[in-house]
Amino acid sequence: MANKGHFIDRNANIPTAGLSTSGLDGAEGVKVCLSISNPEELAESLVRRNYGQINKKSQKFPAGSVQPSSSIRDLLTSELQKSRFMSFKEKFYEEMYFKKTTLGGVKKTYSKPEDVTNISQTFGSPSSQSQNECLYDVILPAKSAEQVNKEYEAFHDKYIISHNHYFPSEQVNRRYAQPFDRKSPCGDIHTHGDFGLKVKRCLEEGENHLKVIGKAQVDFMDRNEAPLGMRNKKLSVGTLLRCPT
């Protein structure tokens, strides 16, 4: 408004926000700016307005109940309403296009006698029909300590042969036969331990052994070894005379 007349309006036909450039002083300026020129928008606004009026009227009355066209009996007995030809046709198509495998049956192998059943046998042994027998006695029968140790030894030997497995604290038994003996290494039988005496004799230096030590090694030992427990070297008279005072 303040710049009216000072500038040239290049888009005179485009209305500004709320005002018309052709009729600023007239009463129809705002009406021209707000007029709907698109017929689709006008039709949409009319439909929305009419739909809102109809929706308000329908909310005043409760919705009526809808009666179903078919009863529950008709829905559950739909197969009975089909003709014989239609039922045969559906069954024929189902067998042709949706084949199902037949259920498997148990094949008798006749691998055990007829008198052997789950009731007559318990862990491979015939079970007695007496009421005094307990299931605990069948699973863990009473055995003496000697019998348990004997059965365990036989089982453990077989387990070692089949699995090649020993206990952590168990000594390996390689089952050597004659003429080999576990207690005679190198062919000599030893009744008592050696305690490393032979090894000590082998490591001792003999009379003919010559010890060769270089000066560099002696100097290195003097620099690195502690003098504790070592005898002091005696100084000669010539050494004392050569020492500066």
Confidence bin at 163 (pLDDT 50/70/90): confident
Most confident of the following: 27-31, 39-43, 189-193, 225-229: 39-43
170 or 238, higher pLDDT? 170
Distance from chain centroid for Cα 185 = 52
Those residues with Cβ within 8 angstroms of residue 122's Cβ, 6 or more apart along the chain or in another chain: 138
Comparing CA positions, the residue from 47, 48, 44, 26 lying closest to residue 36 is 44
- Where residue 164 falls (left for φ over 0; alpha for ψ -120 to 50; beta otherwise) is left
User: Phi and psi at residue 122, in whole multiples of 5°?
Assistant: -135, 110
Flag whether pLDDT at 146 surpasses 80.
Answer: yes
Provide the token pair at 145.
Answer: 């300590």
Highest mean pLDDT, choosing among 18-22, 195-199, 219-223:
219-223
Q: Is the peptide bond between 179 and the residue preceding it cis, with omega within 30 degrees of 0?
A: yes
| pLDDT, position 245 | 47
Q: What pLDDT score was predicted for residue 238?
A: 55
Residue 215: pLDDT above 80?
yes
The pair of three-digit structure tokens given for residue 38, joined into one six-digit string = 């698109």
**What is the rounded distance in angstroms from the CA atom of residue 218 to the CA atom of residue 224?**
10
Name the more confident of 30 and 40.
Answer: 40
Q: Dihedral (C-alpha) 71, 74, 77, 81: value to the nearest 10 degrees?
A: 170
Contact present, 30 and 18 (Cβ < 8 Å):
yes
Q: Where are the domains of the chain?
A: 132-172
Whole-angstrom distance, CA of residue 123 vs CA of residue 139: 8
Which range in 13-22, 39-48, 229-238 is most confidently predicted, on average pLDDT?
39-48
